[in-house]
Chains A and B, each alone.
Chain A
Amino acid sequence: MKGWFWLLLVAFLAGLFWWGMQRNPRELPSVLAKERRPAPGFTLPLLPPYRAEWGEAFRLEDHLGKKPIVLNFWASWCYPACYEEAPVLEAAWRRHRERVLFLGVNTQDKEPEALRFIAQFGLTFPQVFDPRGRVGVDYGMYGVPETFFIDGEGRVYARHAGAIDEATLEKYLKEMLP
């Protein structure tokens, strides 16, 4: 009887240990995506190259609930991850621009360096400037690059931390698009 108790206890601890080792310590939860919360709104100034087409400031609330939105946080100092995903995002934007809105949020960066990054990759989707990184905190962002997928109802559908590749991007877009 007593032997069984200790055997069970050891088995339980071994199971707990095994389960703990299976978990990914780098996995970071996104409260917004898990609860599919409405995307937090913000108004930020657009970087100069985009002002002609999109105006002085970009108000996210004006675009929520119309088309799905891909919200990408990046910075010019984020090397190499942001440099890897920039061409992927630009190509996807050119393919889907009729149905999905892409928006880049330049976070905790300096304007001249952000502009150099934009020129380097020829980014044509709108880019806003958030030197303080306040919007990142509202989205529960951990670090650049991070990409949020906002569905057609204006709710956060998914969050991808780290550089995004084409397959992952297309997978989320396919799930979000009707």
Chain B
Amino acid sequence: MRLLLLLLALSLTALAQEGPPPDLPPEVFRIARELRCPVCQGESAAESNSGVAVEMRRIIAEMLEEGKTEAEIKAFFVERYGDWILYEPPRQGVTLWVWVLPVAGLLVLGLGLFAYFRPRRPLPMELLEEAERRLKEPPA
């Protein structure tokens, strides 16, 4: 009897607690991983346990339940925080440069290396003979 009461008391306190955030489907974390946690440094909304990140995951879960697509969910956060919230900047507008510049840089590097290591054309025969001749000449 006493044990039963104890169990009841324990379960009641467990109920009264706010409890950890509800278990969310992995889909939520997959989307949250591509969104920045606004208050953290270098952490995504999937990893952080800050209040905002927890709320963001809850919002994502709710929107998924409403049948919203991943693009719609991301647009929801971009509308509020700007492109800043996305870990991958969109491949258009100003942020297109972020994607283009590394490729352009590699290209320039490749061209430079090619120009440097390009096999030189051998010197013409008569020039070589002339050089040979002058080498053998006694110094004046």
Contact = CB atoms under 8 A, between A and B. Distances in A.
Interface string A152-164: 0000000000000
Q: Secondary structure at chain B's binding surface: helix, strand, loop or mixed?
A: helix
Contacts of B99: none
B56 interface: yes
Contacts of B74: none
Nearest to B78: A31
Contacts of A141: 38, 52
Interface string A126-161: 000000111011111111000000000000000000
A64 B20 CA distance: 36
Contacts, number: 42
A72 interface: no
B88 to A, nearest CB: 18
B82 A136 contact: no
B80 A138 contact: yes
Interface residues of B, number: 14
Q: How large is the interface on A (under 10, 10 to 19, 20 to 34, 35 or more residues)?
A: 10 to 19
A14 to B, nearest CB: 16
A142 B52 CA distance: 8
Given A133-B51, A137-B52, A138-B80, 6 more contacts: A132-B55, A133-B52, A134-B59, A136-B52, A137-B55, A139-B80
